[in-house]
Structure 1
């Protein structure tokens, strides 16, 4: 069994690679290194530098490494950028996936795991969001992830692939400092960026119908997310037929104000958050129902929000020692 992991040098991808290698799986990575870092990969893991839209490269890689399963993580994922550049997002996230699946079918690879997102749901007004909730994405990023799910399932049915789609909620933390999220696009790094520059963290809206008026989200430690990928990959490798679509979260909500307070406690930067106007499209609450993955795989997250913030802070300081 050999797994091809696209985007395996990225923040999430490197964690997935290390989880699978640590469990004895054979792995090869395809990454164009536009945001990935080759040094994140464990020694001995082959890195093929290139894009998933390069069919010749994929064909050669499948043949050379005897690939029998794919974990597809490579994608554009910034919501705001997707609104400004929808053509880029559809080209990268949908066309790239199409080319990859064509190569998978041609090579006779029987297993495909797709990195999806809770963005497929849009803004459902539900206490907990089950996989059966209507999917009404509100931005091109979410649209491309939903289209990707449709394409993966249809290809699986037509060509006899075993497939899985994992809908991530808010990913945070780091298993090791060198694997930390180095971008400033997610809320915890955004808080870190503000406080280490001497600015107050920002909260967008405090008049939502939630206990403290700020948005409530479900945060999942990236190491738990990687473990979930391993569990699903092994389910596919065991010969489970058909398709599986599951949420990956903790099933517990944390408000933005609670998170800001925890960041201040962990980092020692105690600046009070400033409240700015709501951002368009932000749901008051988005928390996963995690019953299905528990029932199907016996899997559940084991790490809490404090561990996410502490490990993310350690990684932030390692990458930006002058500011932290």
Structure 2
């Protein structure tokens, strides 16, 4: 067992629950703080301690940090639906920016030394070139991306003023599920393409909308970098080890595979895995969707001893499909 405890905010959610599994499997003690507004208590591994609280509840968070000997925070809690951020920006600045500020202050007050932040490629907006590197201009085009960038800036400034180092991991398109079937994406009404596609493949949806067929890409549909959620969780473990080993340094790293697939290529892969054809509904572009969004992942490969283990589109689809079928059995 490793010394100290890691606090995982949003640990009952999709990515957070996989990070909890990875931490426990690596020998860490884990305390999860989640308000269960979008998360599910049954996704939290029984080896972890679950505290139902909001991260903005400073009394509850600080009590948990002190009672459990927390030495590091992995921060996944927040709101993530881009169109909703446009229609309700104040919700995103409250749940993502203001709440993160409270959490960071709690960490500083309680002497927590290490902070890993769940950031996003949405901080780049529509990139000038692809693949996009960490030093590319940060020009978010929606409040979701802005709320995450503001938290990155807070961490930068706090790390300069206090004995805390951080790693901001900018996710590209996260997909798949735990290969052992312990967790997966369970949120109703999810907007992620592979989740939507496997819902269609299992009869939960009638069809899949393809937003934009006239992009400057090989087949006219948008290209994205899809990373398996278990690979992403492993990157968090490697980042935590680095922060502990090198407490004087902080990092901001892209999390992606460095290559992308178009919407039609993803749907074709789902068709192959399921041996059926998903009904596709062609629709117009969504405002602000870039033609392609692919990570330049050279920095993470150089900085961390992390190498993808699940870089296979059909494998990602198979894991997502297996989880979708498991969810159906729960209902």
Residue 179 of structure 1 pairs with residue 186 of structure 2: no
Partner of 1:67: 70
Contact persistence 1:191–1:202 (CA under 8 A): no
Larger CA deviation: 214-223 vs 185-194: 185-194
The one of 44, 49, 59 equivalent to 1:46 is 49
Instruction: Work out whether 1:218 is the aligned partner of 2:221.
Output: no
Q: Which residue of 1 aligns with 2:89?
A: 86
Aligned to 1:152: 155
Q: Per-residue CA shift, 1:285-305, capped at 9, x if unaligned?
A: 000001001111132322111
Q: 2:264 aligns with which of 242, 257, 270?
A: 257
Is 1:247–1:290's contact at 8 Å kept on the other side of the alignment?
A: yes
Distance 1:197 1:58 in 2: 38
How far is the alpha carbon of 1:151 from its aligned partner?
0.5
TM-score by length of 2: 0.94
SS of structure 1 residue aligned to 2:70 = coil
Change (3 A) 1:105 1:220: same
Deviation string for 1:64-117 (max 9, x for gaps)? 001111111101000011111111110010110111111111111111111100
Q: Mark the CA change 1:118 to 1:297 in structure 2 (over 3 Å): closer, same or farther.
A: same
Distance 2:143 2:250 in 1: 24
1:7 to 2, 5, 10: 10
In structure 2, C-alpha distance between the alignment counterparts of 1:174 and 1:198, rounded to whole Å: 19
Which residue of the other structure, out of 306, 313, 321, is the alignment partner of 2:314?
Answer: 306
Tell me by how many angstroms 1:197 deviates. 4.7
Alignment of 1:161-180 (within 5 A): 161-175=164-178, 176-180=180-184
230, 233, 236: which one aligns with 2:240: 233
3-state SS of 1:21 partner = helix
Q: How far off its partner does 1:238 sit?
A: 1.6
Q: Structure 1 residues 322, 36: CA separation in 2 closer, same or farther (over 3 Å shift)?
A: closer
Match in the other structure for 2:35: 32
Q: Would the alpha carbon gap of residues 164 and 268 (structure 1) be closer, same or farther in structure 2, given more than 3 Å must change? A: same
Residues 126/300 of structure 1: CA separation in 2 closer, same or farther (3 Å cut): farther
1:216 CA drift (Å): 0.5
Q: CA deviation at 1:32?
A: 0.6
**2:225 alignment partner, SS class:** strand
Residue ranges of structure 2 left out of the alignment (5+ in a row): none
Match of 1:96 among 99, 113, 116: 99
Distance in 1, Cα, partners of 2:47 & 2:153: 35
Deviates more, 1:4-13 or 1:172-181: 172-181
Quote the offset at 1:271 in angstroms.
3.5
- Which stretch shifts more, 208-217 or 296-305? 296-305
What is the number of residues matched between the two proteins?
Answer: 323
Q: More displaced, 310-319 or 33-42?
A: 33-42
- Match 2:116 to one of 108, 113, 118: 113
Contact 2:223 2:262 in 1 (8 A): yes
- Gaps in structure 1 of 5+ consecutive residues: none
RMSD: 1.5
Does 185-194 or 146-155 show the bigger shift? 185-194
SS in structure 2 at match of 1:154: helix
Say which is worse superposed, 134-143 or 312-321, in terms of deviation.
312-321
Report the alpha carbon displacement of residue 191 of structure 1 after superposing the two structures with TM.
1.9
The change in CA–CA distance for 1:263 and 1:63 in structure 2 (over 3 A counts) is same
Q: After the TM superposition, which segments of 4 or more aligned residues of structure 1 sit over 6 Å from their partners? A: none
Residue deviations 1:25-46 (CA, integer Å, cap 9, x gap): 1211101111111222222311
Residues 293, 300 of structure 1: 8 Å contact kept: no
Q: Out of 279, 282, 285, which is 1:275 matched to?
A: 282
> Equivalent residue of 1:179, what SS?
coil
Q: 1:130 aligns with which of 122, 128, 133?
A: 133
